[in-house]
Chain A
Amino acid sequence: MTEQAVEALAATTTADGHVPTRHTLAAKGLRLSYEKKEIVHGIDLELPPGKVTMIVGPNGCGKSTTLRGLARLLDPSGGQVLLDGKDISTIPNREVATVLGILPQHPVAPDGITVTDLVSRGRYPHQGWFRKWNAEDDEAVAQALTVTNTAELSTRAVGSLSGGQRQRVWIAMALAQRTDLLLLDEPTTFLDLANQVELLDLLTDLNRRSGTTIAIVLHDLNLACRYADHLVCMKAGDIVAEGTPKEIVTAGIISEVFGMRCDVLVDPVSDTPLILPIGRHHTTNSGSTS
């Protein structure tokens, strides 16, 4: 992230002279089902306002489903999702979209669409049938392009970009939406390690500079431990543990959640838990050291 980009981000909070109000998002007894099969069995979850929450768990544990439920993309089969304490299903869809942004796992870019066009779509919830595109929209798009380092791609077709560039463009679209809450479903999938770290840095910048509450479903446990303020471990549709990574990540809990033996060390880079999986092969000693 460049100097200008950081300044541009900082400008969101200071330019209009107020700190954004912290909106809250929570699940109460939330049950989610596809067809008749229940995937998430009545969870309670509060996203700590102004923090980065990471949701981790094995494949099929319901973490993506939970995120879709929180983003009202999936109607609950029981319980509620509360936005600012109000049942989200009672709030008009477009109104929700001015407060809550979601980047789904597999977003689709229409053929031939340019980066600027795609990022501009993020302004949709702020437009009405009668409110025309205005200078604030231009400014939001320009800022989103700047902070995601996609400005130089602005006239390119989205289809012609690399995976890392494309993902930054989608993040830019979500940023152009200017919401206080931002949910992302596995945003680092298909990215190489350098791009993964860069993306998580970008989101952390956003969180620190604008106070955006962020929730991310992430596959990579170690990156989740490093970047999360609040970690949620899910297994088979229930929350098994939540708290700061340092508090909750132990070899025991990881073994329980993932069904995998492991060691947990302290990450020398970030002073956060570092999980070392132990498989059946390539181990120098037979047992766990912890």
Chain B
Amino acid sequence: MTAAAFDVSSIARTRARGRVRQVSVVGGLSLGVVVVFALSLVVGAAVISLPDVLSTLAGQGSRNTNYVILELRLPRALAALMVGVAFGLSGAVFQNLLRNPLASPDVIGISTGASAAAVLGIVGFGLTGIAISGLALGGALATAMAMYAIAWRNGVSGYRLILVGIGLSALLLSVISYFMTSAQVTNAQDALIWISGSLSDRNWNQVVPLLISLVVLVPVTLVLGRVLGMLGLGDDTARGLGVPVARVRLGLIIAAVALAGVATAATGPVAFVALLAGPIGRSLAKDGSPALLPSALVGALIVLVADFVAQHTPFLPNLPVGVLTGAIGAPYLLWQLARTNSGGQGG
């Protein structure tokens, strides 16, 4: 045994290195978000130069730029940013809590539950605005509770919860389809919002309630998320170290469900953002932490880029963003399913 006496300062150095990495990952992702956000304000049917965009934001635009930037592009870009953050965070929290990369709200039916409730509100009761947000939130919570109750068998195992969630998701999707057909929704675009998510025609009516919700939910989630890393050590170890495991977990579940709910209310369940953001965020952070902030930024980046591409794809005008994220996310989901099963955990 040749152990050296250990230098205390090397611990401090290791920690400093970790911090530098964290800061550079978050900084790099933020920069990317800012760039794509700016691009989506500049580029459109007509290109508006960055100085003009900035002066318009400062309240000195022409009538034309005021309309294009403030009424069309800004709310859409903000919706993309915030929905990305919400889905990214929600997915990362679920994946960490259930210790399973498949456990994101879009796979286990939370987003579908929110969708179904929103559709019920719109088609069934003719509601609009903040009432839809509230209803979607309720739908997400109700779905989560139903899932938990069905999966409960002397405690809840991650895998059973996911399977029950996938089943519920299918059921809720058929509920959505039923409302669509019975309400004679003639505009396919409108219907598609609630099935795969879309950012077209998003305006301040969706952005404001989302902004208010996120101002509350994001800080709460990030603060609780500091303890989420401790839960990764297993319940017994975490409790032994003084973590109030049950309370933290309940708080995080509610926050993550609410995030998925309010995001869905704004733009529909933008497919697979929640599934993809967490693993990418974690692999960038690479420190075994839940990497909530990187995941949130990755989510924002995915939605912003996907919507930018969707808006500017030749021959396919008005391609819903969810179709694009779905096209990227579905192969990843298949790969993840195949990989998990070959690891022998699929039973």
Contacts and interface: CB of A to CB of B under 8 A. Distances in A.
B234 A107 contact: yes
A138 interface: yes
A201 to B, nearest CB: 11
Given A107-B234, A124-B230, A152 B242 contact: no
Contacts of A100: 240
Interface in A100-117: 100-104, 106-114, 116-117
Interface string A110-154: 111110111011101100000001010011011101100101101
B10 interface: yes
Nearest to A2: B3
Contacts of B12: 138
A5 interface: yes
A142 B1 contact: no
Interface string B119-159: 00000000000000000000000000000000000100000
B241 A177 contact: yes
Contacts of A107: 233-234, 236-237
Contacts of A108: 99, 232-234, 237
A122 to B, nearest CB: 7
Interface of B: prevailing SS: loop
Contacts of B8: 135, 138-139, 142
Contacts of A109: 233, 288
A72 B237 CA distance: 11
A218 interface: no
A103 to B, nearest CB: 8
Interface in B214-253: 229-230, 232-234, 236-237, 239-244
Given A121-B230, A124-B230, A113 B287 contact: yes
Interface string B270-308: 000000000000100011110000000000000000000
Interface string B179-220: 000000000000000000000000000000000000000000
Contacts, number: 129
B111 to A, nearest CB: 26
B237 A97 contact: no
B241 A125 contact: yes
A93 B288 contact: no
Interface in A62-111: 68, 71-73, 93-98, 100-104, 106-111
A154 B14 contact: yes
A125 B14 contact: no
Contacts of A8: 5
A162 interface: no
B4, B6, B229 — which one has the most chain A CB atoms within 10 A of its CB? B6
A125 B15 CA distance: 19
A4 interface: yes
A192 interface: no
A155 interface: yes
Given A73-B240, A133-B15, A111 B288 contact: yes
A16 interface: no
Nearest to A143: B6
Nearest to B288: A113
A35 B153 CA distance: 11
Interface of B: 1-12, 14-15, 18, 99, 154, 229-230, 232-234, 236-237, 239-244, 282, 286-289
Interface of A: 1-2, 4-5, 8, 35, 68, 71-73, 93-98, 100-104, 106-114, 116-118, 120-122, 124-125, 133, 135, 138-139, 141-143, 145-146, 149, 151-152, 154-155, 157-158, 177
14 contacts: A2-B1, A2-B3, A94-B242, A103-B237, A107-B237, A110-B289, A113-B289, A114-B288, A116-B15, A120-B11, A135-B8, A142-B10, A145-B6, A152-B4
User: What 8 pairs between A and B have smallest CB-CB spacing?
Assistant: A113-B288, A97-B242, A94-B242, A4-B5, A104-B236, A110-B232, A102-B240, A151-B6
